[in-house]
Amino acid sequence: EVYVDLDYRSDGTLIIARRPQRTPLEKVEATTRRALESSTVLTESGELLPVKFESICVHSDTPNAIDVARVVRSVMSEF
């Protein structure tokens, strides 16, 4: 599973905020596109990290989760 609304550390672990905040939609689009095109995610330190995934997760407690899901769906429709 790839997480488009969370950040990744260089070791592949997720950075989980105690209080979810809005995820910038530009970031969601870029993360989704990168994952689908090259099976990688961008880490907080700017490295590209390979990921294997069969699904894309959108956390429902993200304040703009509906908008995040719409962006993911839009990008996925291109593939």
Q: Where in the chain are the domains?
A: 2-76
Q: What is the pLDDT of residue 72?
A: 99
Specify the residue for token string 């609304």: 5
pLDDT tens, 4-55?
Answer: 999 999 999 999 988 889 999 999 999 999 999 999 999 999 999 999 999 9
Of the candidates 41, 37, 33, the residue with the CA atom closest to the CA atom of residue 13 = 41
Closest CA to 56 of 25, 78, 24, 33: 33
Coil vs helix vs strand at 25: helix
Beta bridge partners of 43: 8
Q: What's the DSSP call for residue 57? A: E
